């Protein structure tokens, strides 16, 4: 028999191929895992190969190359381009069943064709039970093979570099305590607070990237849980900058900020750290599970690598970094039981004691402080490259966070100031440092960047004074759409169920009642109320597949 003459070491070749593919994929998608981890992984794959090949002689299939090919297929299934659909997943599953089931049943006298048919039936059944898209496909729908990454455009001097730092769930009042925000404020224009266009991530980030309201860009979740991305006919800032000659890179740590939701459009490199496990090694642990992606250290390491590369090659670039640290779970919490706590769990507990509520707020503040230290190191890099003198650097947030100020917790459920007020500071060549008056909106970020880059602002350029009588609006809540609001300098009008026949409208005098505690009677004569009532919901579009695993980890879905 040919097998008898085979050198025993040859049997380990498929296992070595598995280890190489594993490490190659882990290295290619983002910054590499540590050398120690890679060496440990390779050693484990080899030990596994020796044990399977020589230690389990009676187990079916161990003498063939099939055992290492099965994890190789599942690796392919989790990293495959979407165009291949479910094929690698199905092949891996079928292979696994074939190796184990067919020989086992053969020993019991079942004809091979019957056990093979059963394996096919079980494979098809598993696929059908998973729905239209296998889970593994959903998790990695944003990932492309490294070799398929398009070449970067040639460097071009199209305008000042742009660095946009957005911080998930960062309240305006918490941001004011951050030394990194104060450092930017000393160099640029800043406001006490800007107003978000929504109470949660997807519509707010889409407004930052398009300069239009959720009713126009369409990204968000409608009543009934139908979630959709940015409408195809709405141009993004990245697309506009790319057309001008910018090279665009994004590193985003939030599972809503996906390519399916239109957020990657216009970016030449897009790292959706919140929704995939790009650096995952197959066997030894998972240096970057979904929660770990929150870690600013991971996100900013990758951002620093890109910043170095972009400045080294020269030309105009747009670097967007989205950090998730202040969002639950609080990974750096001093109390270990808080490190995996999601908002879903907190809400399910019901009434919390004042001490427990304060402990959660303290954990949030601690998370912001940890982020602040890490952000300082990134700003050092920005300074080292001389970018404060020649770049646009914007820092803002998608929304804030409520800690029972109005009875609720987290975000996505209310338009009170603790949720819609976000920090806003930006530096740019020619912009004098100092506090600015007026009420900016997240809508103003894209027009300001466009104008500085030499494009038509097509909106409010924040280098110009904001009109004193400006009204800004916010639209939508998480999952259940209704919720809209409008504000000017002195008034806020909130409607919880906008669009309903009998809307519940609350008006607050922000001068006498800045905490929005005592709603005033509404009589339909106030212009801020008219603006709130004019807010329109987005219309239904094709739903983008959502990464339910990652959203569950953050407590968005059960
Ligand atoms: Zn968010």
For residue 188, the CA-to-ligand 1 centroid distance in Å is 25
- Mean pLDDT over residues 210-238, rounded? 89
- pLDDT, tens only, 249-296: 999 988 889 888 999 999 998 887 765 444 456 665 444 444 455 688
Residue 92 has pLDDT above 80, yes or no: no
Q: What is the residue extent of each domain of the chain?
A: 2-138, 148-468+545-553, 482-536
Alpha helices in 227-326 (DSSP H): 237-244, 296-313
Confidence bin at 234 (pLDDT 50/70/90) = very high
> How far does the centroid of ligand 1 lie from the alpha carbon of residue 399, in Å?
6
Segment 345-357 mean pLDDT: 85
Rounded to an integer, the average pLDDT of 215-243 is: 90
Looking at every residue in the chain, the average pLDDT score rounds to 83
How far is ligand 1, taken at its centre, from the CA of residue 316, in Å?
Answer: 28
Please name the fold of domain 148-468+545-553. Answer: Alkaline Phosphatase, subunit A (3.40.720)
Which residues place a Cβ less than 5 A from the ion ligand 1? 168, 201, 398
Average of per-residue pLDDT across 315-339: 91
CA of 404 to the centre of ligand 1 (A): 18
Closest CA to 219 of 536, 556, 539, 474: 539
Gap from CA of 169 to ligand 1 centroid (Å): 5
Cα of 83 to ligand 1 centre, how many Å? 30
How close is the Cα of 324 to the center of ligand 1, in Å?
Answer: 8
d(CA 508, CA 485): 11
Distance 309 CA to ligand 1 centre (A): 28
The whole model's pTM is what? 0.76
Q: What is the CA radius of gyration of the chain?
A: 26
- ∠ CA 422-426-432, nearest 5°, is 130
Query: What separation in Å is there between the alpha carbon of 174 and the centre of ligand 1?
Result: 15
| 135-139, 194-198, 306-310: least confidently modelled range | 135-139
| Winning range, highest mean pLDDT, from 64-68, 87-91, 142-146 | 64-68
How many Å lie between the centroid of ligand 1 and the Cα of residue 198? 10
**pLDDT over 80 at 139, yes or no:** no
Give the pLDDT confidence of 30-77 residue by residue, as tens digits. Answer: 445 667 778 888 898 888 888 878 877 666 667 777 777 777 766 666
Ligand 1 centroid, distance to 168 Cα (angstroms): 4
Q: Which residue has the tokens 């399977």?
A: 52
């Amino acid at each position: 028999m040919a097998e008898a003459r085979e050198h025993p070491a040859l049997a380990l070749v498929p296992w070595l191929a598995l280890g190489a593919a594993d490490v190659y994929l882990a290295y290619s998608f983002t910054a590499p895992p540590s050398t120690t981890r890679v060496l440990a992984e390779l050693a484990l794959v080899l030990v596994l190969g020796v044990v399977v090949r020589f230690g389990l002689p009676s187990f079916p299939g161990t003498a063939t190359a099939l055992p290492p090919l099965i994890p190789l297929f599942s690796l392919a299934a989790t990293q495959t381009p979407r165009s291949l659909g479910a094929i690698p997943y199905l092949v891996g599953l079928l292979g696994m069943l074939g190796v184990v089931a067919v020989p086992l049943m053969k020993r019991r006298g079942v004809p091979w064709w019957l056990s093979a048919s059963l394996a096919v039936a079980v494979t098809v059944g598993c696929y059908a039970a998973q729905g239209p898209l296998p889970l593994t496909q959903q998790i990695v729908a944003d990932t492309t093979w490294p070799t398929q990454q398009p070449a970067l455009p040639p460097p071009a001097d199209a305008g000042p570099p742009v660095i946009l730092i957005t911080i998930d769930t960062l309240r305006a009042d918490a941001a004011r305590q951050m030394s990194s925000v104060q450092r930017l404020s000393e160099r640029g224009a800043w406001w006490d607070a800007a107003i978000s266009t929504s109470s949660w991530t997807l519509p707010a980030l889409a407004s930052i990237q398009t300069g239009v309201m959720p009713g126009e860009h369409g990204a968000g979740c409608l009543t009934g849980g139908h979630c959709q991305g940015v409408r195809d006919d709405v141009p993004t800032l990245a697309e506009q900058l790319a057309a001008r000659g910018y090279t665009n890179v994004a590193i985003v740590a939030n599972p809503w900020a996906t390519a399916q939701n239109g957020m990657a459009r216009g970016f030449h490199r897009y790292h959706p750290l919140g929704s995939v496990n790009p650096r995952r090694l197959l066997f030894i642990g998972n240096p970057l599970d979904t929660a770990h992606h929150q870690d600013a250290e991971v996100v900013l390491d990758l951002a620093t690598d890109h910043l170095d590369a972009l400045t080294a090659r020269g030309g105009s670039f747009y670097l967007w970094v989205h950090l998730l640290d202040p969002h639950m779970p609080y990974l750096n919490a001093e109390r270990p039981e808080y490190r995996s706590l999601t908002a879903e769990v907190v809400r399910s507990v019901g009434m919390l004691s004042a001490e427990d509520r304060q402990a959660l707020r303290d954990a949030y503040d601690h998370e912001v402080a940890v982020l602040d230290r890490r952000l300082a190191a990134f700003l050092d890099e920005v300074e080292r490259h001389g970018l404060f003198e020649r770049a646009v650097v914007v820092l803002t947030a998608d929304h804030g966070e409520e800690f029972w100020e109005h009875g609720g917790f987290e975000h996505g459920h209310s338009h009170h100031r603790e949720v819609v007020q976000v920090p806003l500071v930006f530096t740019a060549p020619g912009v004098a440092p100092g506090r600015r008056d007026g009420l900016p909106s997240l809508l103003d970020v894209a027009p300001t960047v466009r104008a500085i880059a030499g494009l038509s602002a097509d909106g409010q350029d924040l280098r110009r004074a904001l009109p004193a009588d400006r009204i800004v609006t916010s639209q939508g809540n998480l999952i259940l759409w209704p919720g809209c609001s409008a504000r000017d300098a002195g008034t806020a009008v909130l409607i919880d169920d906008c669009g309903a026949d009998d809307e519940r409208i609350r008006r607050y005098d922000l001068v006498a009642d800045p905490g929005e505690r005592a709603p005033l009677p509404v009589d339909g004569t106030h212009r801020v109320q008219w603006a709130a009532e004019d807010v329109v919901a987005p219309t239904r579009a094709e739903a983008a597949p959502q990464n339910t695993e990652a959203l569950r980890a953050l407590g968005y879905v059960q």
